[in-house]
Amino acid sequence: MARVTVEDCLEQVENRFALVLLAAQRTRQLMKGEEALVDNTGDNKEAVTALREIAAGSISLDDLARIRAENERTDELERNALAENAAEARAAALQKLQNTEEAATAETVNAAAEALGLTLPPSTPA
């Protein structure tokens, strides 16, 4: 494959500073597993692939912002799902603990607290 030059990329991007930002951000995305938008049969490094995409006009700063927003939305949905699953698991574990015959009695808790040198407030009848 022919070499990619800065001049090739500058035909697609307005200035070299924007080019650096675009290339760096796209390289990070490729490193995180994003699909390449150009043929990558030469097993190029991610930075070279990013520059090839820019030179081909396959990616722009606007595209990058859109991809980032989509990824952030997906990440947020995954975090919410994980938090919900964790809350359900905690609730199930608490229910199981409450239903277990081996749950600690107040006497056992007081003995453990005393052994640790802790003072517990007086318990109220349930």
Tell me what percent of the residues of the chain surpass a pLDDT of 90: 39
pLDDT for 2 equals 64
The span from the CA of 122 to the CA of 55, in Å, is 74
pLDDT tens readout for residues 22-59: 999 999 999 988 889 998 777 789 999 999 999 999 99
CA distances from 66 to 10, 60, 62, 72, 73 (A): 21, 10, 6, 10, 11
**Predicted pLDDT at 119:** 76
Is pLDDT of 19 > 70? yes
Q: Which pTM value belongs to this model?
A: 0.57
* In contact, 60 and 23? CB cutoff 8 Å: no
Looking at domain 6-99, does it have CATH number 1.10.10.10?
no
